[in-house]
């Protein structure tokens, strides 16, 4: 078969319906995906590709188009009320959102976009419609999957609805290519969603190694008001059952039962805000800290910008990631880039990000006693901690946004070439 020549990619339409890449990660629906979308867009733009990111407007004060000035523009689409909509209510706004995305493209010359890249299943529903209307391939990133989340629910968490599962299955069937964060996610797409193996490519997310780099620990602690000799066990992320910050607090209580002398120098910063089902009881984690007798140990810190998060990670003795599931675990990768070991649950993408015994420790399950043992090992064993710090830096170098952009661009090009071949 004769190969059909394909022009270089000039413009990409990214769709991130339910959360804007401009939002502050760590609260609401903003998290690692927000960082992913913006960092990937920036790196693609650095290669001369224009990227428009379509997201739902959540305030009337937002400019219709926010031009980042670096080849990336964020387009705020009016679909439904600006505030008060939860993720479970957003499917009712898909038609309006899709209409406005198509209208924005219709104002441009024919063939304006070369690829649609959708993020999360809601965006994939819109992306599938745009694909058919524009005649360009749809590349989709799941980020999280309902079937995976429902298989590993935290106690008291709410299962993902069947409507989401059906919607995800539809997107998997419609996408020309699926990008998985890890080999495990690729297997889950194939085994749980019947994705065609030939349409699944693994491209690891990255870390901004210019931002997340080692800082002087004593200086960072002084800047953040932390004692220079403290054992700092950091949690950074959205406060919701899925992320399991309660597991860390229960483990800390267990650790103090075992080592009561540690209390005088133990600090547990929780950097983030309520999200998801955690919004129903935003005060519950603080109440748990009080019930466990940890009021003088736990410090609650609002979400912070990336450069500030890098300082928190550098100041920490370890970063704890006790999530019940992570498609990748960006916080773990960022922490390692600062030279800080990670103690993480042996679930999902964390088994790829954290190299057990080399850059951190992986804990099977969420038993507070097992977690307390892992925390104690890092805090008390100086030789182990120093070895993990060196391994964390080496492990972090495996992940960069430049590599992510290069791998993603290769997927785009393959999807376009195969579509052109099928139409020839």
Query: Is residue 236 annotated as involved in ligand binding?
Result: no
Three-state DSSP class for residue 422: helix
Query: Is residue 25 annotated as involved in ligand binding?
Result: yes
Query: Is residue 105 annotated as involved in ligand binding?
Result: no
Per-residue buried b or exposed e for 309-334, using 16+ beta carbons within 10 Å of the residue's own CB = bbbbbbbbbbbbbbbbbbbbbbbbbb
Query: Is residue 144 annotated as involved in ligand binding?
Result: yes
Query: Is residue 316 annotated as involved in ligand binding?
Result: yes
Query: Is residue 404 annotated as involved in ligand binding?
Result: no
Is the separation of the CB atoms in 254 and 372 below 8 Å?
yes
Distance CA 236, CA 222 (A): 19
Query: Is residue 187 annotated as involved in ligand binding?
Result: no
- CA dihedral sign, ordered 273, 274, 276, 278: positive
The torsion angle over the Cα atoms of residues 117, 169, 279 and 274, rounded to 10 degrees, is -40
Query: Is residue 147 annotated as involved in ligand binding?
Result: no
CA distances for 246 relative to 36, 282, 393, angstroms: 26, 13, 28
Query: Is residue 304 annotated as involved in ligand binding?
Result: yes
Distance CA 110, CA 273 (A): 43
Is the separation of the CB atoms in 208 and 404 below 8 Å?
no
Query: Is residue 31 annotated as involved in ligand binding?
Result: yes
Query: Is residue 290 annotated as involved in ligand binding?
Result: no
Distance CA 359, CA 384 (A): 10
Closest CA to 333 of 231, 237, 200: 237
Is the separation of the CB atoms in 146 and 123 below 8 Å?
no
Query: Is residue 69 annotated as involved in ligand binding?
Result: no
Query: Is residue 238 annotated as involved in ligand binding?
Result: yes
Residues contributing to the annotated binding site for Mg(2+): 316, 340
Residues contributing to the annotated binding site for 1D-myo-inositol 3-phosphate: 18, 29-34, 87, 120, 144, 164
Residues contributing to the annotated binding site: 18, 24-25, 29-34, 87, 120, 144, 164, 238, 243, 304, 316, 326, 334, 340
Residues contributing to the annotated binding site for UDP-N-acetyl-alpha-D-glucosamine: 24-25, 32, 238, 243, 304, 326, 334
């Amino acid at each position: 078969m004769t190969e059909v020549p394909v022009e270089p990619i000039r413009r990409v339409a990214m769709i991130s319906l339910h959360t804007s890449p401009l939002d502050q990660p760590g609260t609401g629906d903003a998290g690692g995906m927000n960082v992913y979308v913006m960092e990937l867009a920036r790196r693609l733009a650095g290669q001369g590709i224009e990227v428009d990111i379509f997201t739902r407007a959540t305030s009337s004060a937002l400019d219709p188009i926010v031009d980042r000035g670096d080849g990336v523009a964020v387009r705020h689409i009016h679909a439904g009320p600006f505030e008060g909509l939860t993720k479970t209510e957003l499917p009712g706004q898909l038609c309006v959102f899709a209409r406005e995305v198509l209208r924005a493209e219709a104002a441009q010359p024919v063939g304006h976009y070369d690829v649609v890249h959708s993020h999360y299943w809601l965006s994939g529903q819109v992306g599938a419609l745009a694909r058919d209307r524009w005649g360009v391939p749809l590349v989709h990133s799941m980020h999280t999957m309902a079937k995976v989340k429902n298989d590993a629910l935290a106690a008291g968490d709410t299962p993902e609805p069947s409507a989401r599962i059906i919607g995800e299955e539809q997107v998997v069937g419609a996408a020309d290519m699926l990008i998985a964060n890890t080999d495990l996610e690729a297997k889950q797409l194939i085994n749980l969603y019947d994705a065609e193996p030939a349409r699944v490519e693994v491209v690891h997310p990255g870390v901004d190694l210019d931002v997340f780099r080692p800082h002087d620990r004593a200086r960072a602690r002084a800047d953040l008001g932390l004692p220079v000799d403290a054992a700092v066990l950091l949690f950074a992320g959205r406060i919701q059952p899925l992320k399991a910050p309660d597991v860390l607090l229960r483990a800390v209580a267990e650790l103090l039962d075992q080592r009561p002398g540690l209390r005088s120098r133990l600090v547990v910063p929780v950097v983030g805000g309520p999200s998801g089902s955690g919004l129903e009881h935003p005060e519950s984690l603080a109440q748990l800290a009080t019930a466990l007798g940890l009021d003088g140990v736990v410090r609650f810190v609002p979400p912070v910008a990336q450069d500030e998060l890098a300082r928190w990670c550098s100041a920490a003795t370890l970063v704890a990631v006790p999530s019940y599931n992570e498609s990748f675990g960006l916080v773990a990768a960022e922490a390692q880039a600062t030279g800080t070991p990670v103690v993480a649950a042996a679930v999902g993408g964390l088994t790829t990000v954290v190299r057990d015994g080399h850059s951190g420790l992986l804990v099977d399950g969420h038993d507070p006693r097992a977690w307390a043992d892992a925390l104690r090992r890092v805090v008390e064993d100086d030789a182990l901690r120093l070895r993990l710090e060196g391994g964390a830096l080496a492990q972090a170098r495996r992940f960069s946004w430049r590599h992510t952009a290069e791998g993603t661009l290769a997927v785009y090009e393959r999807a376009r070439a195969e579509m052109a071949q099928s139409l020839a």
